């Protein structure tokens, strides 16, 4: 796997000047992923912060072929592009020097919710693509409404904290597991807090024949209500509390890629984030207990399924 | 020279697609268009064509995949009906705004609710303002000819706009008719090679598709798009002429049947044209001066040609196979009446809604329409601007 200094020298395909917020995880994630592959990459981007902020006409921050068509259909759009690539190559109408790779990008809204059907269809059909979900746990492009990736108890504008209800009333959907159930060659959960984990997984995802899915916890300083400089450190706490375990499933084989030396209590992940602030009031402590129980149960389950193979070696 | 064959409408669509041998098809089965994708799947399984078929999990994804495929720089085909077209609605606008030449065969079906699988035009009429060209087809022959011409029209450099080719569900899609098809080589020569433009797979010339337009550019870009649609009218005309020269069947914006000297005119689209022609022949035998205007192109609407053809008539009946809820009659009626408005002389015009959900339209109903036209002419009075045919009240 590549070294940091080699990756750093590779061409930048998502360039500066875009309008993402300071500290946004999305551009870090995509820049790191694109550096792991030397082939051309054609991207379809679902509607969302990344799409809106990188292509304000007449500007584009993309130095790689890119399309946005709608919100719920990035996977279907790539399906069509990839099918056309196969058709034209077979018919000798294009002869690329290097194989073209295909990537779809969606936020958690475009992936867990409105785009789930399109994603599922594309994965089942077996298109050769890497689907990257930039999961920041709510609809941030429209100002922070809940998604099915929003954690229990989190404040969003559609799960506000009031006299009766204290944030989101449901646990988040486990999309990574849903993707594992599609029996595709490669599924992984990762984050930009651990660059090596992210880039190794991106490389593997591009290298497999067929569909691969990367679920990336991508910090949103604006709506997680944290300082812009703290994003990756707080993301690391998602790993150290096992709220967002780093693991991969290669041809059905589970591997955990990071085990904290000391598993931290869930409070450590919740505390620095304004969206969980209300949970620390005495009357809401039971929600924190529920979250801890949920994390513990899932971490245990994952450990039953997986072997351990560090990505930081 | 072509050969006489016997086919259903769906098989005709599939046969034209086989001859086009598009690079990519992305589609989802729905009654009554399902047989189209079944035939095409069999052609692929038998190696008759080497098209990539994206068996999408919904019509929304099917058209999304068509958009992806089309930006990849090749020929793309899709087929659907009713609810399928409704589910594509969001993507219809995006396909036309991106100026992508996609061919979509729509086997017309009534929109739910209530759910109904039979033919009316509520699906394509619901999509009339989405920026696509719309060609309508009376029978299998026109289906075949329209699809081949649609390739040329949509890919023309002045146009670059997707095309819907419409045919009536069941009446045309499932009925067996004779038609003339052309040789594979002749068809390939007529449609020519696809010329890619701004392909997303051209990695030496990197493109961004679908950037966000704010207040400053959206209007201008929509204006460009409208210009392409306006320009398509000339291309539709010249392709129709060239098709006539090549294969002996010429096409324009509409077909006038015994229309030139007619005092009364009936306007329809799709399969009803055949029924109306039969009635007109009977009435002409009795010395009645009545003709048919069967519209082929609904978008772009050929208003000038239509006004020219109808302005000297005494009374015109426009038959709509859809209801435009809350409007002053159906969409075809509104377009026709509007086309005539600024003419110094113009006929009286009435509207009949017919055939919703596949309800029959028989010769008897058309004779009733003719009698009403005569009555209006004599009394110079319109009792009901919008009426219904074959409806239990």
Residue-wise pLDDT for B94-127, tens only, equals 999 999 999 999 999 999 999 999 999 999 999 9
Q: Which of A212, A222, A218, A282 is nearest to A244 (CA)?
A: A218
Inside any domain, residue B103: yes
Is B381 exposed, middle or buried (CB count within 10 Å of its CB: 0-12, 13-18, 19+)?
exposed
Dihedral through CA B333, CA B336, CA B339, CA B344, nearest 10? -100
| Together in a domain, B61 and B9 | yes
CB contact under 8 A, B206 and A78: no
Inside any domain, residue B75: yes
CATH code (residue B179):
3.40.50.970
- pLDDT over 70 percentage in chain A: 99
CB contact under 8 A, A79 and B90: no
With a cut of 60, say whether residue A166 has pLDDT above it: yes
* Cα dihedral sign, B221-B222-B224-B228: positive
Residue-wise pLDDT for B222-272, tens only, equals 999 999 999 999 999 999 999 999 999 999 999 999 999 999 999 999 999
- In terms of DSSP H, where are the helices of chain A? 4-9, 25-35, 49-54, 74-90, 108, 116-125, 175-180, 195-207, 221-224, 231-240, 267-270, 285-305
Inside any domain, residue A267: yes
Are A1 and A200 spatial neighbours (Cβ–Cβ below 8 Å)? yes
| Together in a domain, B290 and B237 | no
| Together in a domain, B328 and B352 | yes
Q: Which of B224, B365, B232 is nearest to B298 (CA)?
A: B232
Q: Which of A50, A56, A46 is nearest to B212 (CA)?
A: A56
Distances A262 to A237, A240, A265, B121, B334 between C-alpha atoms, Å: 11, 7, 9, 66, 74
How far does the CA of residue B116 sit from the closest CA of chain A (Å)? Answer: 25
| Together in a domain, B121 and B264 | no
Strands B254-257, B290-295: pairing kind: antiparallel
| Together in a domain, B144 and B67 | yes
CA distance A212 to A31: 18
Section A6-31 average pLDDT: 95
CA distance B92 to B72: 18
**What range does the domain containing A216 cover?**
11-308
Residues of A whose CB is below 8 A from B23: 84, 87-88, 91
CB contact under 8 A, A83 and B203: no
Section B8-30 average pLDDT: 98
Residues 6+ apart with CB under 8 A from A117: A72, B57, B58, B61
| Together in a domain, B233 and B303 | no
CB contact under 8 A, B64 and A81: no
Give the residue from chain A lying closest to B218, CA to CA: A57
How far does the CA of residue B150 sit from the closest CA of chain A (Å)? Answer: 20
Interface test with A, best of B53, B201, B207 (most A CBs within 10 A): B201
| Together in a domain, B340 and B294 | yes
Inside any domain, residue B243: yes
Inside any domain, residue A163: yes
| Together in a domain, B260 and B215 | no
Predicted pLDDT of residue A1: 63
Phi, then psi, of A21 in degrees rounded to 5: -65, 155
Are A21 and A222 spatial neighbours (Cβ–Cβ below 8 Å)? yes
Three-state DSSP at B24 gives: strand
* Cα dihedral sign, B28-B77-B249-B283: positive
Is A230 exposed, middle or buried (CB count within 10 Å of its CB: 0-12, 13-18, 19+)?
middle
Residue at which a domain ends, from B213, B247, B281: B247
Of the partner residues B23, B94, B203, the one whose CB lies closest to the CB of residue A84: B23
Residue-wise pLDDT for B298-356, tens only, equals 999 999 999 999 999 999 999 999 999 999 999 999 999 999 999 999 999 999 999 99
Inside any domain, residue B16: yes
With a cut of 80, say whether residue A2 has pLDDT above it: no
CA distance B214 to B212: 6
Inside any domain, residue A5: no
Strands A186-190, A247-250: pairing kind: antiparallel
Q: Which of B74, B84, B136 is nearest to B112 (CA)?
A: B84
CB contact under 8 A, A77 and B68: yes
How far does the CA of residue B203 sit from the closest CA of chain A (Å)? Answer: 7
Residue-wise pLDDT for B178-226, tens only, equals 999 999 999 999 999 999 999 999 999 999 999 999 999 999 999 999 9
Inside any domain, residue A135: yes
Inside any domain, residue A228: yes
Predicted pLDDT of residue B1: 66
Half-sphere CA count of B262, side-chain side, radius 13 A? 27
Residue owning tokens 């929600």: A287
Give the residue from chain A lying closest to B211, CA to CA: A55
How far does the CA of residue B208 sit from the closest CA of chain A (Å)? Answer: 5
Count up the domains in chain A and report the number: 1
| Together in a domain, B216 and B259 | no
CA distance B392 to B58: 36
Residue at which a domain ends, from B212, B230, B247: B247
Residues of B whose CB is below 8 A from A67: 68, 71, 200, 208-210
With a cut of 60, say whether residue A130 has pLDDT above it: yes
Count up the domains in chain B and report the number: 2
- The string over A11-48, giving b where at least 16 C-beta atoms fall within 10 Å of a residue's C-beta and e elsewhere, is eebbeeebebbebbbbbbbbbbbbbbbeebbbbbbbbb
Task: Work out the pLDDT band at A308, boundaries 50, 70, 90.
Answer: confident
Section B350-377 average pLDDT: 98
Inside any domain, residue A313: no
| Together in a domain, B235 and B327 | no
CB contact under 8 A, B23 and A79: no
According to DSSP, the residues that pair with B353 across neighbouring strands are B320, B388
Inside any domain, residue B215: yes
* Cα dihedral sign, B377-B382-B383-B387: positive
Residue-wise pLDDT for A189-213, tens only, equals 999 999 999 999 999 999 999 999 9
Distances A135 to A112, A174, A182, A239 between C-alpha atoms, Å: 9, 12, 19, 14
Inside any domain, residue B393: no
Q: Dig out the tokens for A184 from the structure.
A: 């595709």
Section A289-310 average pLDDT: 94
CATH code (residue B334):
3.40.50.920
CB contact under 8 A, B68 and A55: no
CA distance B72 to B202: 8
Is B41 exposed, middle or buried (CB count within 10 Å of its CB: 0-12, 13-18, 19+)?
middle
CB contact under 8 A, A65 and B201: yes
**What range does the domain containing B275 cover?**
254-388
Inside any domain, residue A3: no
Give the residue from chain A lying closest to B93, CA to CA: A69
CA distance A291 to A58: 45
Of the partner residues A69, A90, A117, the one whose CB lies closest to the CB of residue B210: A69
End-to-end alpha carbon distance in chain A: 11
| Together in a domain, B95 and B175 | yes
Strands A66-67, B208-209: pairing kind: parallel
Interface test with B, best of A48, A52, A73 (most B CBs within 10 A): A73
CB contact under 8 A, B211 and A68: yes
Interface test with A, best of B55, B56, B211 (most A CBs within 10 A): B211
Are B109 and B123 spatial neighbours (Cβ–Cβ below 8 Å)? yes
Residue-wise pLDDT for A213-224, tens only, equals 999 999 999 999
- pLDDT over 90 percentage in chain B: 99
| Together in a domain, B270 and B197 | no
Q: What is the largest CA-CA distance in chain A?
A: 68
- The whole model's pTM is what? 0.97
Residue-wise pLDDT for A58-71, tens only, equals 999 999 999 999 99
Q: How many CB atoms lie within 10 A of CB B64?
A: 33
How far does the CA of residue B62 sit from the closest CA of chain A (Å)? Answer: 7
CB contact under 8 A, A67 and B23: no
How far does the CA of residue A220 sit from the closest CA of chain B (Å)? Answer: 22
Half-sphere CA count of B161, side-chain side, radius 13 A? 29
Interface test with B, best of A11, A65, A120 (most B CBs within 10 A): A65
CATH code (residue A54):
3.40.50.970
Residue at which a domain ends, from B247, B273, B295: B247
CB contact under 8 A, B50 and A90: yes
């Amino acid at each position: 796997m590549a070294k940091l200094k080699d990756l750093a020298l590779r061409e930048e395909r998502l360039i500066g000047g875009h309008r993402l917020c300071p500290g946004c995880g999305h551009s870090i994630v995509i820049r790191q992923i694109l550096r792991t592959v030397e082939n051309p990459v054609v991207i379809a981007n679902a509607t969302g912060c990344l799409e809106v902020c990188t292509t304000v006409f007449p500007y584009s921050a993309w130095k790689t072929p890119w399309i946005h068509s709608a919100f719920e259909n990035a996977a279907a759009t790539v399906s069509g592009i990839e099918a056309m690539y196969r058709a034209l190559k077979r018919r000798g109408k294009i002869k690329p020097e290097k194989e073209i790779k295909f990537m779809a990008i969606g936020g958690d809204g475009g992936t867990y919710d409105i785009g789930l059907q399109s994603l599922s269809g594309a994965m089942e059909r077996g298109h050769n693509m890497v689907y990257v979900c930039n999961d920041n746990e709510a609809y941030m492009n429209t100002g922070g409404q809940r998604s099915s990736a929003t954690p229990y108890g989190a404040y969003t504008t559609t799960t506000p904290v009031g006299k009766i209800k204290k944030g989101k009333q449901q646990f988040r959907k486990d999309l990574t597991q849903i993707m594992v159930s599609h029996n595709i060659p490669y599924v992984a959960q990762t984050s930009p807090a651990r660059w090596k984990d992210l880039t190794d997984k991106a490389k593997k995802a591009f290298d497999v024949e067929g569909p691969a899915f990367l679920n990336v916890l991508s910090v949103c300083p604006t709506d997680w209500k944290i300082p812009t400089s703290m994003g990756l450190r707080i993301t690391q706490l998602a790993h150290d509390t096992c709220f967002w375990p780093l693991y991969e499933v290669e041809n059905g084989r589970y591997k955990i890629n990071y085990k904290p030396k000391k598993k931290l209590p869930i409070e450590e992940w919740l505390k620095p984030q304004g969206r969980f602030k209300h949970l620390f009031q005495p009357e809401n402590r039971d929600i924190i207990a529920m979250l801890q129980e949920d994390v513990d149960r899932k971490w245990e389950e994952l450990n039953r399924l997986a072997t351990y193979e560090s990505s930081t070696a | 020279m072509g050969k006489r064959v016997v086919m259903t409408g769906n098989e005709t669509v599939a046969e034209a697609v086989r001859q086009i041998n598009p690079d990519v098809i992305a589609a989802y089965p729905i009654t009554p268009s399902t047989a189209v994708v079944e035939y095409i799947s069999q052609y692929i399984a038998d190696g008759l064509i080497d098209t990539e078929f994206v068996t999408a999990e919904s019509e929304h994804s099917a058209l999304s995949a068509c958009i992806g495929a089309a930006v990849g720089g090749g020929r793309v085909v899709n087929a659907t009906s009713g609810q399928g077209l409704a589910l594509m609605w969001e993507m219809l606008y995006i396909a036309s705004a991106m100026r992508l030449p996609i061919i979509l065969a729509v086997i017309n079906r009534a929109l739910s609710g209530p759910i109904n699988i039979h033919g009316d035009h509520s699906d394509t009429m619901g999509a009339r303002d989405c920026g696509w060209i719309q060609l309508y087809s009376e029978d299998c022959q026109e289906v075949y000819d329209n699809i081949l011409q649609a390739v040329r029209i949509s890919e023309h450099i002045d146009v670059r706009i997707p095309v819907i080719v419409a045919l009536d569900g069941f009446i045309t899609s499932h009925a067996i008719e004779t038609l003339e098809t052309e040789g594979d080589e002749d068809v390939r020569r007529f449609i020519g090679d696809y010329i890619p433009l701004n392909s997303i797979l051209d990695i030496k010339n990197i493109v961004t598709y679908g950037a966000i337009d704010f207040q400053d550019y959206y209007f201008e870009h929509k204006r460009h798009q409208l210009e392409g649609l306006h320009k398509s009218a000339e291309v539709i005309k010249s392709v129709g002429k060239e098709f006539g020269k090549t294969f002996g069947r010429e096409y324009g914006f509409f077909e006038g049947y015994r229309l030139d000297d007619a005092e009364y005119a009936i306007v329809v689209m799709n399969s009803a044209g055949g029924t109306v022609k039969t009635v007109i022949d009977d009435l002409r035998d009795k010395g009645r001066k009545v003709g048919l205007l069967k519209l082929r192109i609904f978008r772009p609407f050929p208003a000038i040609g239509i006004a020219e053809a109808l302005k000297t008539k005494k009374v015109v009946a426009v038959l709509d196979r859809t209801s435009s809820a809350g409007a002053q009659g159906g969409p075809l009626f509104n377009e026709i009446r509007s086309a005539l408005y600024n003419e110094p002389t113009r006929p009286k015009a009435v509207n009949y809604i017919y055939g919703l959900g596949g309800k029959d339209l028989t010769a008897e109903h058309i004779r009733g329409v003719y009698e009403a036209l005569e009555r209006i002419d004599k009394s110079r009075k319109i009792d009901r601007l919008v009426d219904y045919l074959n409806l239990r009240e």
